[in-house]
Structure 1
Amino acid sequence: MTDKPLSGARVAVLVESQYIPSELRIYQERFAQYGATVDLVSRLWGNDSLRFYSTVEPDDSGSAQPIEWVEVGLDVDEVDPTGYDAVIAMANYTTVRLRYVDPPPPGTLPAAAVRSAPAVRFFQRAMADPRVVKAAPCHALWLLTPSPELLAGRRVICHPVVLADVLNAGATYVPPPPGTPEGEQVVVDGDLVTSSSWHATERLVDAVRDGILAARERPVPQFVPPVSRERTGKVLMVVSEWGYWGEELVGPLRELDAAGIAVDFVTPTGKRPNAIPVSMDADFFDPPLQRKITSEQMARWAREMDDPFTEQGARLDYPINLADWFPERPYHAAPQFVRLMEVYHRDLARAAERVAEYDAILLVGGAGAIVDLGNNQRVHDLVLAFHRVDKPIAAVCYGGISLAFARDMNERRSILAGKHVTGHCVEYDYKDGTVFVEGRNKPLDFNMGPAPYTMEFLMRDATAPGGAFHGNFGRPTSVIVDYPFITGRSIQDSALTGQKLIEVLREGLRRWGW
């Protein structure tokens, strides 16, 4: 046994040239006193190791201090920040150097290029895990300002030269009380520790220590629901064969699994659905939102779901074939049209009987839904079958297009008329880059570019008169419940859509979100 509070803890310190030697020594010595191991990490530019020089500052007598050197053998691109209890970016101009990127070529997104610096990506991954304590003294918040969503609403303090960037990122600046010594100017906001200068390093280390100890006391979240849990209820999930967005399937599915609700999958022609490749990439940069939109954990879950050789992925093998289940409505110009329509309605009634085994339906989003779900007559008939028996109908993002088009052919009016819904709003629309897949991780030579129609305008028209479309742009989430419909705006609303569907099923929720 040891009486050192941080025994076994690991701390990663990001360093570059122009580091402050006194600051580095405090990290190494003070954490060692607490029982923690300190690793130095930097960008090594393809080398096994690199030496970095210190900044030159006058000592108490006014004489310049000699240059010091430190050798680093851990590359920031090859280190997993979630394997550490804390990560610290050093003060001074080390972070300016660490976030260097080559100028982006013409036609690319500058913001995406700035976010691609290895140290920036390292801190992004660390920020995604609340169990890792992050510390950013002095100028170090410059590693976070390229990712403003990570700073939005966070309480911080920093060197005045960084303040404009920090405020533009949406952080809340906490000024030190009047008369507070520079060595005491530290702000703690959950798992993020900041200071105004390197002079507060000892105080910062102690705040990191406290954060590590607090994280150790928190229980590790249990993400995987017990497989032996008794299942009550059943939901049918409709998935595109042209590419679903990983989180828009995994998010609600995990909620339903955790609630003990069984799930069946159906695709238009019975083929195994495939995730859009970028939806499984935690580094994918979303042009409309100007940020990354998939967490490391969610990317792993999506890849697991897309892989038929995993337990989760095998669930997507052999989905129900909608073409075998529901009949195709004949052309009006077909020979014997009247007889064919009689057969169609007879087979339609038989197909609708099978809806009785389900408690609700959920349409998964993703760009592929535009191709084979949105204007798919069989999908419309499936949705109408649930609607006629007053069962909940949920949809995430582009999955909701089918609701706008689903309508009784006698009335030609959408089932959304008079209802309140949300969905992929105009501000989220792409200008280019909508690529589909035909097999597992196999690109199809088809880039549709922007969506051929604007979902928001369709939904606005479909809900009239008396209803409304709520894009809720600028709000973190947007889910609307207007029974029987539960609609989620986009990726970040996926799990919440599942949660609200469960509340509709279990608690009788009828209205929520507007």
Structure 2
Amino acid sequence: MSTQSLKGRKIAVLVESQFIAEELALYRERFEEDGAEVHFLANLYGQPHLELVSEVEEPCHTPKLMTVTRDVAHAAPEDYAAVIVAANYPSVRLRHFVPPDGPDGRPRPITPDMVRTAPAVRFFARAMRQPGIVKGALCHALWLLTPTPELLAGRRVICHEVVLADVTNAGGLYVPDASGVVVDGDLVTGRSFHQVSTFIDRIKDLLMASPPPDAPAIALQRPAALASAIAPGGSRRILIVLSNHGYWGEELVGPLEVFNRQGYDVEFATPDGRRPEALPPSMDASFIDPPLGRPVTTPEMARAVRKLDDSGPERSEQARLFDAPLNLSALLPERPYFSHPVLVRALEAYYRERDHALRAFERFDAMLLVGGSGPIVDLANNQRVHDLILGFLRMGKPIAAECYAVTCLAFAREVDDRRSILRNKHVTGHCLEYDYKDGTGFVGTDFNMGPPPYPLELILRDATAPEGQYHGNVGREQSVIVDYPFITGRSTPDSTLTGEKLVEVLEQGLRRWGW
């Protein structure tokens, strides 16, 4: 019986030849009975349509034909509430790619990295990076994710035994569930076509628990009934927020190395979703820091930062995580101006959308705001970043910040309260003695603002009043302060220690340290 509970939702099903006709028919029938619109997508190779042939082992050995008119290369996963990869061998065909031409007009030699260029691989990877889109992979379908193993690593899945070795080699956590279907947050996987009915039911459960289609936020609300499907005691996840105007390399590499040793999963986010870039001086061991009058980056650290910042075809798997960071401007709503013609209604919509959007970040255990001069430009006074910080605070999750990014904590405050969340807290951050003068603060960036437009130490002293305190620890090699839920690091030499103290907060319950 139709409930129309999915009215207004669109479902994308990625297909190719050797599909199972009964499976595709069930997608159309089961989703459309609840009001959803089902689109079948394939790589059309520049043609207006593609004629696909079903699995030859169909009943009576009579292959069926299917005409697809939607090109996955020109589709956007953001247009869909759910993205499903069909069972059987479509995922193998969907991974096909055409080697790009070289300078001489002839195809380049094939490299492993080119597998990632297949339109369907890119489409599904983009969907995987957005928790508000429900993802479904049945039978062999996880083959479409193995070219981007960073998106599969740590996820609880089930699949056909034919692809099991590839899935586990990519970091997937195989769960031999008796039902043949496993739900891990926004990802639903099934062992084979024989579980398609249960597979569809679980996808429907997630869709019905998510915000209505007219809500701009793309967050996923997990129903209580599915809470048991989320990995208990699994690897912790850290959200790392980076500026689009440059981060200081060691202030990312230091904590990141700590998280990697601990076995944590990390995801990156930037204000506009573009790939973050390290500040050039932080990759240069010969750069003389003007306030200190000496180099602050070792040759080893400079090499580590360059490796992480590499965007070339031979870049590391860790560097590939930078390719499509979470886009905070797309994930979180913008607060309306008070000049809005219908302010009360606009504010109601904003708060509703904000709360929906923040549910997408429930999967993270902690957040790190990386320093450098970039945060001064696009993080410190960024309302969406402030809302994210406030959301983590309300969820009782620790927040770490380094150097100039500590300003984000000082400025994060509810609009109807306007008191800093650092009030009565103890913190550290870039101090006056180590601050920059005109012409020295933004070396290697794509803008020229002179020195930082504010003295961070004075802001932090004011924000922590009346009973808190700023600690500069001038003359001491390191300065990290833990005053739960905040972990703050003064500058570059404190990067690794900041990561270590965040781990102690998560694993040992550390609540106060450093003063």
Contact 2:281 / 2:443 at 8 angstroms: preserved in 1? no
Which of 231, 236, 240 in structure 2 is aligned with 1:237?
240
Q: Deviations over 1:102-154 (max 9, x none)?
A: xxxxxxxxxxxxxxxxxxxxxxxxxxxxxxxxxxxxxxxxxxxxxxxxxxxxx
Q: Say whether the 8 Å CA contact 1:368–1:436 is kept in structure 2.
A: no
Root-mean-square deviation (CA, aligned residues, Å) is 1.7
Unaligned runs of 5+ in 2: 1-168, 174-233
Partners of 2:240 and 2:170 in 1: CA distance? 20
Cα separation, partners in 2 of 1:436 and 1:335, compared to 1, 3 Å = farther
Report the equivalent of 1:433. Answer: 440
Tell me how far 1:290 sits from its aligned partner: 1.3
CA deviation map 1:297-317 (0-9, x unaligned): 100010111112311322211
Instruction: With the length of structure 2 as denominator, give the TM-score of the two structures.
Output: 0.54
**Is 1:263 equivalent to 2:266 in the alignment?**
yes
The answer as to whether partners of 2:290 and 2:440 remain within 8 angstroms in 1 is: no
| TM-superposition CA deviations, 1:388-410 (whole Å, max 9, x none) | 11110000111111000001111
Q: Is the 8 A contact 2:387 2:412 kept in 1?
A: yes
Q: How far, CA to CA, are the matches of 2:340 and 2:277 in structure 1?
A: 35
Q: Aligned ranges for residues 373-384 of structure 1 at < 5 Å?
A: 373-384=379-390
Alpha-carbon distance in 2 for matches of 1:228, 1:349: 32
1:456 counterpart = 2:462 = no
User: Which of 292, 298, 321 is equivalent to 1:289?
Assistant: 292
Partner of 2:391: 385
1:370/1:398 contact within 8 Å kept: yes
Q: Which amino acid aligns with 2:263?
A: G
* 2:254 matches 1:247: no
- For 1:258 and 1:397, the matched residues in 2 are separated by 23
* 2:364 is the alignment partner of 1:364: no
Quick check: which has more Rg, 1 or 2? 1
Q: Secondary structure at the match of 2:459?
A: helix
Give the residue type in structure 1 aligned to 2:442. Answer: V
Q: Return the letter of the residue paired with 2:258.
A: E
1:436 deviates by 6.8
Deviations, residues 323-373 of structure 1 (Å, cap 9, x unaligned): 111100000011111111011001011011122100001000000000000
Alignment of 1:299-378 (within 5 A): 299-309=302-312, 310-311=315-316, 312-378=318-384
Q: In the alignment, what sits opposite 1:93?
A: none
Shift of 1:229: 11
Change (3 A) 1:345 1:492: same
Aligned-partner Cα distance in 1 for 2:443–2:342:
38
Report matched runs for 1:61-460 at 5 Å.
232-309=235-312, 310-311=315-316, 312-431=318-437, 432-435=439-442, 444=446, 446-460=447-461
Q: Which residue does the alignment assign to 1:37?
A: none
CA distance in 2, matches of 1:354, 1:473: 40
Q: Distance in 2 between matches of 1:454 and 1:229?
A: 46
SS in structure 1 of the partner of residue 245 of structure 2: coil
Name stretches of at least 5 consecutive residues in structure 1 with no aligned partner.
Answer: 1-225, 438-442
Instruction: Name the aligned partner's letter for residue 288 of structure 2.
Output: F
Question: What amino acid maps onto 1:282 in structure 2?
Answer: A
Distance 2:311 2:248 in 1: 17
Runs of 4+ in 1 over 4 A off after TM superposition: 226-231
CA distance in 2, matches of 1:459, 1:398: 11
Residue 401 of structure 2 aligns to a residue whose secondary structure is: strand
Report the alpha carbon displacement of residue 433 of structure 1 after superposing the two structures with TM: 2.3
Q: Which residue of 1 aligns with 2:479?
A: 478
Report the AA paired with residue 376 of structure 1. N
Percent identical pairs in the alignment equals: 57
- The Cα offsets for residues 202-221 of structure 1, whole Å up to 9 and x where unpaired, read as xxxxxxxxxxxxxxxxxxxx
Distance 1:322 1:288 in 2: 33
- Give, in angstroms, the shift of residue 435 of structure 1: 2.9
Q: Give the residue type in structure 2 aligned to 1:349.
A: D
SS of 1:453's equivalent in the other structure is coil
Q: 1:227 to 1:456 in 2, by over 3 A?
A: farther
Q: Secondary structure at the match of 1:435?
A: coil
SS of 2:476's equivalent in the other structure is coil
CA displacement 1:451-493 (0-9 Å, x = unmatched): 0000001111001111000010100000000000000000000
Q: Name the SS of the counterpart of 1:299 in structure 2.
A: helix
Match of 1:465 in 2: 466
**8 Å CA contact retained: 2:442, 2:451:** no
In the alignment, is the contact (CA less than 8 A) between 1:237 and 1:363 conserved in 2?
yes
Tell me how far 1:227 sits from its aligned partner.
9.7
Rate the CA distance shift 1:251–1:332 in 2: closer, same or farther, 3 A: same
Q: How far did 1:273 drift?
A: 0.6
CA contact (8 A) 1:236 1:265 kept: yes
1:145-202 alpha-carbon deviations (Å, 9 max, x no partner): xxxxxxxxxxxxxxxxxxxxxxxxxxxxxxxxxxxxxxxxxxxxxxxxxxxxxxxxxx
Q: 1:484 to 1:229 in 2, by over 3 A?
A: farther
2:482 match: secondary structure:
strand
8 A Cα contact 1:433 1:447, kept in partner? no
Change in 2 beyond 3 A, CA 1:228/1:499: farther
SS of the aligned residue for 1:357 comes to coil
CA distance in 1, matches of 2:243, 2:375: 5
SS of corresponding position for 2:244: coil
The letter of the residue matching 1:451 is P
The whole-number CA distance in structure 2 between the counterparts of 1:425 and 1:381 is 26
Residue 424 of structure 1: SS of its match in structure 2?
coil
Residues 74-128 of structure 1, C-alpha deviation per residue, up to 9 Å, x if partnerless?
A: xxxxxxxxxxxxxxxxxxxxxxxxxxxxxxxxxxxxxxxxxxxxxxxxxxxxxxx
- Cα contact 2:413–2:419 (8 A) shared by 1: yes
Which whole-Å CA distance do the structure 2 matches of 1:228 and 1:478 have between them? Answer: 36
Residues 482 and 320 (structure 1 numbering): CA distance in 2 closer, same or farther, change over 3 Å? same
Q: Is the 8 A contact 1:367 1:436 kept in 2?
A: no
